[in-house]
Structure 1
Amino acid sequence: MSALGLGVAGMVPRFALATSDGTAGVLAFDGDSIVVAGRTLRVSRDGGAGWTEQEPPGQVLALATHRDRPGRFVAGLAEGGVGKSGDGGATWHIGSAGLPTGEVNAIAIGSREPDLIYAAIRGDGLYKSEDAGESWALAMDRPWLDEAERDPLTLVSVDLETGMGGIWIYAGTERGLTRVPDCFCRWQDVQPGNAMDALVAGDAPPPANPLPKGEPVMSLASSPSVPERLYAALASGIWTSADGGLVWKQVAEGTVSAIAVHPEDETYVAALMGGALKLSRDSGATWTETAAT
């Protein structure tokens, strides 16, 4: 066991989470339920002991929920468009008006506004919908990092006082973490101070202890109950920040493709690690592997 304490207790047969082409699934909490999606969609209402399967409207590349809309799933689709279900995945409607063609590979729902949805289109930009996914408009170009535009691999809306209007959109990319205030004025590194300070200062000091430089950020999660608590899934493991991303610490090692945090309990975390679903009740200090379906 590593010094980071990846204490996996109660080992049981693994839940097959990879899609048929070998790609990892995506993950979200819907209240107390855990939702895992890819080419299929599975929901567990008992902490991973039992699962029900639903048919998604296509291969799901991104998945988002909101604590004020129980049973609503918003899915970014490999075939293009954004799928929305209001009944826990039983039925779906696809909204694509105003979206360009292409994979929707990252999705976020506004932390304060559950009908505000953000979608990243691979090779294009960041789009937003103010009517729960029915119509879309371009909000922002892709982040410019290391002399090139980078696709967001994951998005999360974070309710922090330092953002303009109190909201930041964080994006994980192949070259690390970036964010933009919801005025969509400029992508910027996570840094001390508020959004206006950063815009006036231009190049600002880096965060005190950032995520590993240049490592892809595959998944991000923010706890609505404690929004400054962030979790990040990287190839090196799971990292967490207690201050909105200024200072990060690694809490688990191993290949991690997706992470989610319970909407009412910032210490309850789910992660897809090495092809298995694992749960932590102590902010990632120890982990339990779920049962197979």
Structure 2
Amino acid sequence: MLQGSDLFAMEGGTSTKIALPATDQSAQPTTLARGADGSVYLAGPGLGVWRYDGAGESWQSLNNTLPDLGVTAMAAHATQPGTLYAYLGKDGMFRSRNGGAEWVKVDSGPQEPVQTFLHSDMPGSMESGWLFAGTTRGVARSMDCFCFWGDAGDLRGMVSAIDYDPAAPENVYAVIEGQLHHSADGGEVWTGLKVPQPVTALAFSPSQGLVVGTANGNLLARGAADEWAPVHE
């Protein structure tokens, strides 16, 4: 989970801080994605896209064929390990099918600027899945054939984080102004969820399920009865 400018790995109810890539001080990590093979990717303005090598505890730059380093959001394909997506504002949306070795522009993206987005293998796509984009207006949704971007329900506001449940892809979560929202039907209808503190980040852990980062630096995991318990460092 990316919590502010800190990166944490979560396992078995505990979290471990991971050192970020050594880059220019002005580079700002803003988005984190996990590939279908477990690879971890980090991106942000001035940073571009990087992949983490857990064995060597090092980072590899994947920026050789991107037009610039102005990546504001990225996502990894839910089932295809080598397929990645990066959003570069006015430059549009780029896709790599070979793990970031080569990037190709595939779309301009939604009408509103994308703050964060994800790829989901939710059923119903004419291609291999769906892209959900958290924008300055709400949540936009498109099949990954990039056929059409439309509103995912009537949730409105600037989305700062978005994620989904890999075990139940119709369940999508989005954060607007610290408030956590949940859709159980792929973005058609949204309801607010109560969290003890304002939410700043989202992640799904194989052992913990939904985990949120909060404004005061806590990591909280959602229990079966909708209670929230701390994830210990």
List per-residue Cα deviations over 1:11-46 (Å, max 9, x = no partner): xxxxxxxxxxxxxxxx2xxxxxxxx36544333434
Write the letter of the residue equivalent to 1:42.
F
Distance 2:161 2:78 in 1: 17
Q: Of 158, 176, 189, which residue of structure 1 is paired with 2:138?
A: 176
Q: RCO greater where, 1 or 2, for CA within 8 Å and sep 6 or more?
A: 1
Q: What is the aligned-residue RMSD (CA, Å)? A: 2.4
Structure 1 residue runs of 4 or more that deviate by more than 6 Å after TM superposition: none
Q: CA deviation at 1:232?
A: 0.9
Residues 1:127 and 2:94 aligned together: yes
Q: Structure 2 matches for 1:167-246, cutoff 5 A? A: 167-190=129-152, 207=153, 210-211=154-155, 213=156, 215-246=157-188
TM-score by length of structure 1 reads: 0.70
- Structure 2 counterparts to residues 8-87 of structure 1, below 5 A: 27=1, 36=2, 39-48=5-14, 51-58=16-23, 59-66=28-35, 68-70=36-38, 72-87=39-54
Is the aligned partner of 1:280 residue 2:228?
A: no
CA apart distance, 1:112: 1.7
State the distance in 1 between where 2:203 and 2:10 align. 14
Partner of 2:122: 160
Aligned CA distance change for structure 1 residues 60 and 38 (closer, same or farther; 3 Å):
farther
In the alignment, is the contact (CA less than 8 A) between 1:270 and 1:277 conserved in 2?
no
- In structure 1, the gaps of 5 or more residues are 1-26, 28-35, 145-149, 191-206
Structure showing the higher strand proportion among its residues:
2
| CA deviation vs aligned residue, 1:89-108 (integer Å, no higher than 9, x gap) | 81111111331224212111
Q: How many Å separate the matches in 2 of 1:284 and 1:221?
A: 20
Task: For 1:226, give the aligned amino acid.
Answer: A
8 A Cα contact 2:63 2:69, kept in partner: no
Q: CA deviation at 1:122?
A: 3.2
Distance 1:247 1:257 in 2: 22
- Amino acid in the other structure paired with 1:252: K
Q: Does 1:257 align with 2:204?
A: no
Q: Structure 2: how far apart are the matches of 1:280 and 1:44?
A: 11
Retained in 1: the 8 A contact 2:53–2:60?
Answer: no
Q: Partners of 1:172 and 1:101 in 2: how far apart?
A: 22
Report the Cα offset of residue 117 of structure 1: 0.3
SS in structure 1 opposite 2:213?
Answer: strand
Q: CA deviation at 1:273?
A: 1.6
Give the aligned length.
228
Partner in structure 1 of residue 211 of structure 2 = 270
Could you say if the C-alpha distance between residues 98 and 123 of structure 1 is closer, same or farther in structure 2, counting changes exceeding 3 Å?
Answer: same
Q: Matches of 2:182 and 2:204 in 1, distance apart?
A: 11
In the alignment, the residues of structure 2 paired with residue 178 and residue 51 of structure 1 have an alpha-carbon distance, to the nearest angstrom, of 33
Structure 1 distance, partners of 2:168, 2:31, is: 23
Q: What is the Cα deviation at residue 57 of structure 1?
A: 3.9
For 1:255, the aligned partner's letter is: P
The question of whether the paired residues in 1 share the 8 Å contact of 2:3 and 2:217 is answered with: no
Seen in structure 2, the aligned counterparts of structure 1 residues 161 and 43 have a Cα distance that, compared at 3 Å, is closer
1:202 maps to none
- Find 2:80's aligned residue among 97, 113, 130: 113
Which letter does structure 1 place at the counterpart of 2:213?
L
Structure 1: distance between partners of 2:180 and 2:3:
20
Q: 1:56 Cα deviation (Å)?
A: 2.2
Separation (CA, whole Å) in 2 of partners of 1:189 and 1:284? 30
CA distance in 2, matches of 1:136, 1:73: 18
- Per the TM alignment, residue 159 of structure 1 is displaced from its structure 2 partner at its CA by 1.2
Partner of residue 142 from structure 1, selected from 109, 120, 144: 109
